[in-house]
A = this chain, B = another copy of it.
């Protein structure tokens, strides 16, 4: 088999289980059962549970980065790109309704555990933050761009948490609509949407 095939399977299974059950509530046996390998084999690939967590966070960082690049290509204007971000609440609703936001829930869990990988997990938030900030910068909100990025970030985060708690997609739809309306107003005030039809990449 390929050199990293098993390792990759482990990370994939751990990624999924950490999201659905939480980091602490997921045991080695749980992951081993999914991947169908022995516990011993585990320690050939990862020396500790924390090491798996680091690997999981690493793949999440890469996956997120890729997603942001994709949105950058798909969305012609900054506004459309931000809308891609907002819509993720509905795109991933099937998971969010049961397990919440994968980024936020991991960060809050690690914060409570005072885990050493806490900062690393927060970097996923940072990726979104920086990306959103750039979109708002392109929309002409120089100084406010970071504040607006954080605003969108926390707004969506709250909607994920409450949507999960109340299991109410209708409410999520409403909030998504509100966010899009808000974004519309933001763009109108700055008379954007025409100037940013095309943005060069690569």
Contact = CB atoms under 8 A, between A and B. Distances in A.
A103 to B, nearest CB: 9
Contacts of A98: 111
B171 A162 contact: no
Interface string A147-174: 1001101111111011011100001001
B153 A162 contact: yes
Given A100-B112, A175-B154, A125 B24 contact: no
A153 to B, nearest CB: 6
A132 interface: no
Interface residues of chain A: helix, strand, loop or mixed (majority): helix
A171 B150 contact: yes
A139 B100 CA distance: 32
A96 B64 CA distance: 27
Contacts of A100: 108, 111-112
Contact of A147 (B111, B125, B174): B174
B175 A113 contact: no
Nearest to A164: B111
A121 to B, nearest CB: 8
- Which 9 pairs of residues, A with B, have the shortest CB-CB distance? A158-B158, A154-B158, A157-B158, A154-B162, A22-B112, A107-B165, A154-B159, A100-B108, A157-B161
